[in-house]
Amino acid sequence: MVGIGPKQPPSRKGSMHDLPQNLLQQIKDFEDAFTVDRAKLKEIVNHFVKELEKGLTVEGGNIPMNVTWVLGFPDGDEQGTFLALDMGGTNLRVCEITLTDKKGAFDITQSKYKMPEELRTGTAEELWEYIADCLQQFIEHHHENEDLAKLPLGFTFSYPATQEYIDHGILQRWTKGFDIDGVEGQDVVPPLENILKKRGLPIKVAALINDTTGTMIASAYTDPEMKIGCIFGTGVNAAYMEDVGSVPKLAHMNLPPDMPVAINCEYGAFDNERVMTAGLYLGEIFRLALIDLIDSHKDLIFKGQDTSKLRKPYLLDASFLAAIEEDPYENLSETADIFDRELGIRPTDCELEMLRRLAELIGTRAARLSACGVAAICTKKNIESCHVGADGSVFTKYPHFKARGAQALREILDWAPNEKDKVSIMAAEDGSGVGAALIAALTLKRVKAGNLAGIRNMDDMRTLL
């Protein structure tokens, strides 16, 4: 197959010759459907570049390209102690980060709190009270009877938000299963600060950030070759540094055209109807492929078995496919067990071969398509070589994802066969914690220098200096 990616781990290729003709044909059909060759990757990247550019215009496009008001990378000399609040989908994390006098070094203390399920559909006040409770517990444990007036907070709020200032953000829409009335369309900073003030906690939000931007900044703090931050998890996203002069929707502000500003792409919306590379979709694509096979080819697979469990949308997640790809046994006994346990189906040996190949194809497709966003940013910015800081469950846990993505970059960016990777995607630093603290530090540093672009509460900021 052309362009299927790097060599697969020792799999079932040798035994495929023993499969009946009808299953071999079905595997070929799957290969035709899910293979993304070099030409298609390049076509996608060219379209992607145009969509990135459109998102920077006043009219906008499918990709929001949110301006973050993070104006530049850290130089490694940032110092001070900062609070970081990370509101994820499942947990709330409170961190205290000290950026030390050793270049690129930091100390971190943190506590994790489970987000109660009822909060997801509760009231706005319940949400902010709960967050304040967690912050207060953390403060009382670590800073009893101390003056907190100069302890700035970096708030990682990883939901799509419009930011006209770095110290505020208007929630565009809830994601990750949240549906709390009275928050969408509102600035999320004042209600939190108001509740903290009522409790006698004079903590001010110095920066509201997205985890992708935090990932880029935290990674650049320890590695100056970092130019892009990515998330490959339940969703996908990237952040990079753009010149203000290349952002038409900022033209009215008359800022220096060469001033850098971090852009949170929110490119999970890129061609949403067809691409579907995120972890959220991998198990669902696998499930739909099997349902299509069951419905269109009677008794081809799972003959005489109850397949009703497979009819439930989004029943399978990316970990289901990962388990199949990680099955180390020649007879694929672990794959057989997971099908029996999760779906009540006992595949035959031949069916197991096909299921393994289908999982490999879908996992490879996702990794190759995920590389297109990185390649598009590099193409747009004429970046020939850099490091890319990546986080997210698919990147860190899905087998062969990194190698397959790296191979796709080689093909898209036309590196010579023996040439070393010029753009390397590697594990990121803690963007939601360290990144939030660093962005708070960078914000205060530029306030001190008199660069007040994208800052709303000047007086509050100056009290933190």
Catalytic residue list: 158, 173, 211
Instruction: Check: CB of residue 416 under 8 Å from CB of residue 22.
Output: no
Q: Within a 10 A sphere around the Cβ of 443, how many other Cβ atoms?
A: 25
- Among all chains, which residue has been given the structure tokens 């933190």? 464
Q: Whole-angstrom Cα distance, residue 156 to residue 136?
A: 17
CA dist 62 → 47, 173, 342 (Å): 12, 15, 37
Residue type, 10: P
The structure tokens listed for 275 are: 């691409």
| CA neighbor of 400 nearest in space, from 321, 337, 316 | 321
Q: Within a 10 A sphere around the Cβ of 325, how many other Cβ atoms?
A: 20
CA dist 131 → 175, 180, 444 (Å): 18, 14, 24
Residue type, 304: G
| CA neighbor of 169 nearest in space, from 55, 253, 66 | 66
| CA neighbor of 279 nearest in space, from 265, 267, 289, 268 | 268
